[in-house]
Amino acid sequence: MIRPTTPNDKEALIALASATGLFQPNQLEEVGEMLADYFSDNGDGDHFWITDDDDGPVGVVYCEAEPMTDQTWNLQLIAIRPDRQRQGRGATLLRDVEKTLVARGGRVLLVETSGLASFERVRAFYRKCGYDEEARIRDFYAAGDDKIVYRKVLTAPGK
């Protein structure tokens, strides 16, 4: 069941992100801060969290509007518990985000990820979901770790 994230999900979602092995301790701390900020401002519509719940959170996405743009959004986080990966849950969550954004008038969704070899499966996931590599910033995260930005158009231009 895909549903809005609730404050009671916070610890489980941090543990879920940690279990993926893709986040450093400081990044997990930031995830906790992002969740706390989200629930403290009562969701102002320019960002949202969605949880895949199967008797407890097994997946999560966080998306926010890009300031000073016309309906460009950033997928800041997507994570699926490792024992539930490769079941289509990530693609289902991503499609739900895309539908939500289209309903809100979203035009473009951007996703950034690491260029490290250990993230190839992540990049393949985005390509499989219809995202095209739009940009690469060399040595962005650290020397030898590029930032790769993927892009998907959500609505036809002019709509």
In a domain, 60, yes or no: yes
Mean pLDDT confidence for 139-150: 96
Structural domains of the chain, count? 1
Per residue in 71-120, pLDDT (tens digit) is: 999 999 999 999 998 999 999 999 999 999 999 999 999 999 999 999 99
Residue 140: CA count within 13 A, CB half-sphere: 13
Strand-strand pairing, 108-114 and 72-80: parallel
Higher-pLDDT residue of 151 and 24 is 151
In a domain, 95, yes or no: yes
Amino acid at 27: Q
What CATH number corresponds to the domain at position 34?
3.40.630.30
Looking at the predicted structure, is the pLDDT value of residue 155 above 80? no
pTM given for the model = 0.88
In a domain, 102, yes or no: yes
Top-ranked range on mean pLDDT: pick from 24-28, 66-70, 84-88, 135-139: 135-139
Q: Note the pLDDT of residue 43.
A: 56
- The sign of the dihedral angle between the CA atoms of 15, 2, 76, 126 is positive
Portion of the chain with pLDDT greater than 70, in percent: 95
List the domain range (segments joined by +) for residue 15.
2-153
Asked whether 116 and 145 are in contact (CB, 8 A), the reply is yes
Higher-pLDDT residue of 115 and 54 is 115
In a domain, 33, yes or no: yes
Residue length of the chain: 159
